[in-house]
């Protein structure tokens, strides 16, 4: 993977420098929307324990949870479709148009969930509407990644591109934390009966309102100089088949890097919450506290690693992330499994996340720098969505399968092996900082 694929039509570099104010506004618009997208996405999972019986009154609690989880899974499957459609749209109509559409879809989806009557009022139509709303949200969050990663990378500026684009992951994690915070606040202010009756609708109203604010912010953003220059030069129309045909190595590299990176992210964040209770033996509140603390620390260090990539290059960072991840997976999980002190568990998990930050902080910019402007959003979004759905989305299931089969350490080896593959891919890549296809500053 030492070349950048087939030759593409040259696009003249814009001579107009983006002003500091416009750049800051662009980063704010891209990152704020990303936060809202992920807040709405995780709010469903956080509050499903309260609205499951509203939409699925039949059966016991476990059956109700399984049905809401099934709808969550369908939304997850909609993400690659959203990535494909929104990636094409972003490359044809513009980054700003795609960002605005993505947040509008999320707002509509959240509002539908907030307003939909329960099964007792409208019967089977209630879960059907919930499913439709979740598909809308899946399309939205699937399209958000490629559009925001491309836009923020193009608007960040060459010298600090790693630093500014790292805020995409900052806001991704922050969205998850805000959803958890809203849950904690509502649990402290409302009774369980009130939460089950109507309180669970509050976070979706909040999400819809925040999305409207971000829609207004994004509607006023400037289009990126990269897209504007490409349109002026008559760049080719983005096509799915041509993206894979002309840039197969880049597409496969992104699938591989995302597969390993997403697997590690979900292993050390969402699955680790269950691991701390099922294997380590911590109480649920203690496991939740450890998980929350690691997420906060993980979020705060992203800009530091993004800044480092501007200094030492992206390739070195990727090799550190995946090579270190391959070495640490087995000892980290083995030691956490035996931990009796929550502080020790926190330090171990956070150490693994520090290493992974060398990837997560630059995951957006690395992908964006690999593709020419006319297929950049599609090239970032679709391969990412494929790798994420196949390996990130299945991380928890695979880990629990290994545990259920009595060979829990098999998951440690699985994670280590995937990280080793990611390291090999990173080793074969040219440094995207030095060979970036984002021509404009």
Structure tokens at 114: 């907030």
For residue 38, the model assigns a pLDDT of 83
* Residues found in the chain: 441
Which residue, chain included where needed, has tokens 């992330």? 321
Residues contacting 398, CB < 8 A, separation 6+: 411, 414
Sequential pLDDT tens for the chain (441 residues): 444 444 444 444 443 455 666 677 777 777 777 888 889 888 887 788 788 888 988 877 667 777 777 777 777 788 889 889 888 888 888 888 888 888 888 889 999 999 999 999 999 999 999 999 989 988 888 888 888 888 888 887 788 889 988 988 898 889 888 888 888 888 888 888 898 899 999 999 999 998 888 888 777 777 777 777 767 776 666 677 778 888 899 999 999 999 999 999 989 988 888 889 888 888 878 888 898 899 999 999 999 999 999 999 999 999 999 999 999 999 999 999 999 999 999 999 999 999 999 999 999 899 989 998 888 888 888 999 899 888 887 888 888 888 888 899 999 999 999 999 999 999 999 888 888 888 766
If one counts every other C-beta atom within 10 angstroms of the C-beta of residue 247, the result is 24
- Give the Å distances, CA to CA, from 4 to 118, 169, 262, 310, 436: 53, 25, 24, 20, 10
Dist. CA 283–CA 247, nearest whole Å: 49
Left (φ > 0), alpha (ψ -120 to 50) or beta: where does 10 sit? beta
For residue 356, the model assigns a pLDDT of 97
- Give the Å distances, CA to CA, from 233 to 14, 236, 363: 11, 9, 29
Dist. CA 9–CA 26, nearest whole Å: 27
Q: Which residue pairs, CB below 8 angstroms and at least 24 apart, start in 96-100?
A: 96/151, 96/218, 96/219, 96/221, 96/222, 96/223, 96/224, 98/143, 98/146, 98/147, 98/377, 99/29, 99/30, 99/33, 99/144, 99/147, 99/148, 99/151, 99/218, 99/221, 100/215, 100/218, 100/219
Domains, the chain, with CATH or none: 18-235 (1.20.1250.20), 238-435 (1.20.1250.20)
Helical H segments across 60-166, by residue range: 61-93, 95-115, 119-122, 125-155, 161-165
Helical H segments across 301-408, by residue range: 302-312, 314-338, 342-360, 363-369, 376-387, 395-404
Dist. CA 71–CA 91, nearest whole Å: 30
Question: Half-sphere exposure of 425 toward its Cβ, with a 13 Å CA cutoff?
Answer: 24
* DSSP assigned state of 200: G
């Amino acid at each position: 993977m030492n070349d950048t694929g087939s030759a593409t039509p040259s696009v003249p570099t814009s001579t107009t420098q983006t002003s500091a104010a416009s750049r800051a506004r662009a980063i704010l618009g891209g990152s704020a929307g990303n936060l809202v997208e992920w807040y709405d996405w995780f709010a469903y999972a956080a509050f499903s324990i309260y609205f499951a019986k509203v939409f699925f009154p039949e059966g016991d609690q476990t059956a109700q949870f399984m049905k809401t989880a099934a709808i969550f899974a369908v939304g997850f499957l909609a993400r690659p479709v959203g990535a494909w459609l929104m990636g094409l749209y972003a490359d044809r109509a513009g980054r700003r148009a795609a960002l605005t559409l993505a947040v509008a879809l999320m707002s509509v989806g959240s509002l539908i969930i907030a307003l939909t009557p329960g099964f007792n009022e409208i019967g089977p139509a209630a879960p059907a509407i919930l499913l439709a709303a979740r598909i809308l949200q899946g399309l939205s969050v699937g399209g958000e990644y490629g559009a925001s990663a491309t836009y923020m990378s193009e608007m960040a500026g060459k010298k600090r591109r790693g630093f500014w684009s790292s805020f995409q992951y900052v806001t991704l994690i922050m969205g998850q934390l805000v959803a958890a915070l809203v849950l904690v606040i509502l649990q402290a202010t409302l009774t369980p009966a009130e939460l089950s009756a109507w309180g669970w609708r509050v976070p979706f109203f909040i999400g819809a309102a925040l999305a409207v604010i971000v829609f207004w912010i994004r509607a006023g953003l400037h289009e990126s100089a990269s897209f504007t220059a490409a349109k002026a030069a008559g760049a080719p129309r983005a096509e799915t088949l041509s993206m894979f045909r002309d840039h197969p190595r880049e597409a496969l590299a992104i699938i591989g890097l995302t597969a390993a990176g997403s697997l590690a992210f979900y292993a050390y964040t969402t699955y680790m919450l269950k691991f701390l209770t099922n294997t380590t033996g911590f109480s649920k509140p203690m496991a939740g506290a450890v998980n929350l603390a690691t997420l906060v620390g993980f979020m705060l260090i992203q800009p530091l690693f993004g800044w480092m990539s501007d200094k030492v290059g992206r390739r070195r960072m990727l090799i550190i992330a995946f090579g270190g991840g391959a070495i640490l997976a087995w000892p980290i999980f083995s030691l956490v499994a035996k931990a009796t002190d929550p502080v020790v568990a926190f330090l171990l998990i956070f150490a693994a996340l520090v290493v992974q930050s060398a990837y997560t902080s630059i995951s957006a910019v690395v992908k964006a720098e690999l593709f020419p402007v006319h297929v950049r959003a599609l090239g970032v979004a679709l391969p990412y969505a494929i790798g994420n759905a196949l390996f990130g989305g299945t991380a928890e299931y695979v880990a629990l399968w290994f545990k259920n089969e009595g060979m829990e350490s098999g998951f440690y080896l699985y994670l280590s092996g995937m990280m080793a593959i990611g390291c090999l891919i990173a080793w074969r890549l040219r440094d995207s900082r030095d060979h970036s296809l984002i021509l404009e500053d």
